[in-house]
Structures are given as C-alpha cells and as structure tokens.
C-alpha cells in the first residue's frame, strides 16, 4: 500500500505549498489525480519517484519510506513524466538496454524484445530518438516506465500524442496491472479515460487535496459527469 501522511512540500523561493494531506492507495487501485495546470500534480509525482525531497510528513510504500536516498525502492517505481526529455542521439533499443542494465533485470534481452513489441517500437527501434515524433517518444517513454513491471506506475498525461491503437495498448496495460494488484497513478485531463480506467479519483487545487464524489458502480457517463463537475466547480 502507498501511504502519505501529513504529506507537504514547499519550494524555497515560492509561496506555493503542496499539502498537507493524507492519502492511501491500495494494491490493485488505479488512482486518478486531477487538477488544473500548476496545481501540484507533477510535484507530487516528483516526490513519489524520489526526485524531490519531501518537506514535511511521510510517504511510505509498504514498510519502506519513500525518499531520495532509498534507491532500491525507486527501482520498484515506474514514471512517465509530462515533459519527455530523452537522450537525443540514442535509439530506443539502446535506451531500453541501458534501462534494463540499470534496473539489473534478469533475462533482459527477452524483456527488451517484449517491450519493443508491446509498444510497437520495433519499426523505429534503431532510429535516433531526435528523429522520432512526439508519439514515438511517448511510446519509448512508456516502455521505459514499464520495462521492469513496477509495483507503482505513475503516468503524467500518458495519452497525449498516442494514436488509438497505442491508447488501447496503454489501457490494456493498466487493466492488467489492476488484476495483478499493482498500483497505478494516472493524471490526465481526458475525462473518458479517467472514468474508464480509474478506481478512484482525487483532485488537487492550488496544492490542496480535494475530495471527489466516490465512483461506486456508476456508469461511464455518470463518472464523466462527476469528473467534469468536479473540475469546473473547483476551478471557477
């Protein structure tokens, strides 16, 4: 279980403060995180992936604290950032090989091949990433985030740049993760995807965690209405 207690972060030269709030995410959940641009979603993800130091409170995964220096735990996380800064003059295959070595994966050759096939990267696997389109880079980044079958997968705007075929692949991947009792945290502005994939939704507004009406067994349309009403009610 992912557990955040009195979770709070503030930047040194800014008035912005994320939190404090408490949040638990159970195994098998896909948690949707919604909020306006600049609300604090990416800051939350940066702290969860150990790229930023938490100012106050605690974040734990199971019995292990999430921190910058817990390198072994970081390898159990997968992260797709919103801004895709990837090395320019390497190919997808080389990047996967590099990641596989850094993750210390066993049978890494098979895992790399499988990842290239799943995300449909094979036909441009040898091309320098700088020559790839945004959608191609997005698929490469998704491959990097999932190559090690992480216990927690954090996806920040994963659908932008993907065509329908690859959106389906991503949706299937998230559904499979739910069945395997793995945690997924998804941030997207596309309400239908939030409605179809997320078990639960939380909202962030100016650093504050806001409650959202629980889904229950509502239909997809009702869920979309909940998402939209939350967003427009809290952002106006």
Partner 1 sequence: MLRQSLLLVKIFVSSFIRKIRYDFISESVVLVCSSVLLFLFYYMFQDFIHVKMAALDASTRENFAKTFSYILLFVTAYAVTKWTRGESKLEFSTIGQTATRLGTDKVTVAWYRLIQSTLIQICCFVSQWVIINSFFYPFSIGQILGLQTLISAFLFLSLKWSSPQIKKHTAYRGSQKHKQHSPSQALVAWRWQQILFRQRSSRIALTAGGGSAALLVISLFLNKADSLIILLSMAMGFFVGSAIIFQIEEDMKHCWLEKTLGISHERYTSAYLKVGILASLTMSIFLCLTIFTLYFVLGKSFDLVTSLKVIPISSIGPLAVAPLMFQIDPEKSLVQMLLCFFVCLFLGTGIFAHWLFAAAIPILLYYGMKYQKDLFYK
Residues lying near partner 1 in the complex (CB under 8 A) are found at 49-51, 53, 68-69, 71-75, 77, 79, 81, 85-91, 93-94, 96-104, 108-109, 112, 126-128, 130-131, 144
Whether the CB-CB separation of 129 and 118 falls below 8 Å is answered with no
Nearer to partner 1, 42 or 188 (CB): 42
Q: Residue 16 Cβ, how far from partner 1 at the closest point, in Å?
A: 16
Q: Residue 64 Cβ, how far from partner 1 at the closest point, in Å?
A: 13
Nearer to partner 1, 61 or 77 (CB): 77
Q: Residue 68 Cβ, how far from partner 1 at the closest point, in Å?
A: 5
Q: Residue 158 Cβ, how far from partner 1 at the closest point, in Å?
A: 15
Nearer to partner 1, 108 or 199 (CB): 108
Cα 13 from Cα 39, distance rounded (Å):
17
Q: Residue 115 Cβ, how far from partner 1 at the closest point, in Å?
A: 11
Please tell me what DSSP assigns to residue 214.
-
206 φ/ψ angles, rounded to the nearest 5 degrees: 50, 45
DSSP letters, 35-89, are: E-TTSSHHHHHHHHTTSS--SEEEEEETTEE--TT-HHHHTTEEEE-SS----SS
Decide the pairing of beta strands 30-35 and 200-205.
parallel
Q: How far apart are the first and last CA of the chain?
A: 34
Q: Residue 156 Cβ, how far from partner 1 at the closest point, in Å?
A: 11
Nearer to partner 1, 126 or 176 (CB): 126
Nearer to partner 1, 49 or 175 (CB): 49
40 φ/ψ angles, rounded to the nearest 5 degrees: 125, 10
Element holding 142 (H helix, E strand): helix 134-146
Nearer to partner 1, 140 or 201 (CB): 140
Structure tokens at 233: 């009610």
Please tell me what DSSP assigns to residue 2.
E
């Amino acid at each position: 279980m992912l557990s955040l207690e009195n979770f709070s972060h503030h930047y040194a030269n800014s008035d912005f403060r994320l939190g404090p709030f408490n949040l638990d995410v159970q195994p098998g959940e896909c948690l949707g995180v919604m909020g306006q641009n600049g609300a604090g979603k990416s800051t939350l993800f940066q702290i969860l992936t150990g790229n930023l130091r938490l100012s106050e409170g605690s974040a734990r995964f199971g019995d292990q604290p999430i921190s910058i220096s817990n390198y072994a735990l970081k390898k159990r996380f997968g992260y797709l950032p919103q801004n895709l800064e990837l090395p320019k003059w390497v190919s997808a295959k080389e990047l996967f090989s590099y990641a596989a070595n850094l993750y210390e994966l066993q049978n890494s050759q098979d895992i790399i091949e499988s990842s290239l096939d799943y995300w449909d990267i094979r036909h441009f696997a040898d091309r320098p990433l700088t020559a790839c389109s945004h959608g191609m880079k997005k698929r490469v980044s998704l491959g990097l985030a999932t190559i090690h079958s992480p216990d927690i997968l954090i996806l920040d705007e994963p659908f932008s740049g993907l065509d329908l075929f690859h959106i389906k692949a991503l949706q299937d991947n998230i559904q499979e993760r739910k069945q395997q009792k793995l945690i997924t945290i998804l941030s997207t502005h596309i309400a239908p995807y939030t409605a179809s994939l997320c078990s639960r939704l939380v909202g962030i507004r100016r650093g504050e965690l806001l409650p959202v009406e629980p889904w229950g067994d509502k239909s997809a349309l009702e869920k979309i209405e909940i998402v939209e009403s939350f967003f427009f009610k809290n952002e106006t």
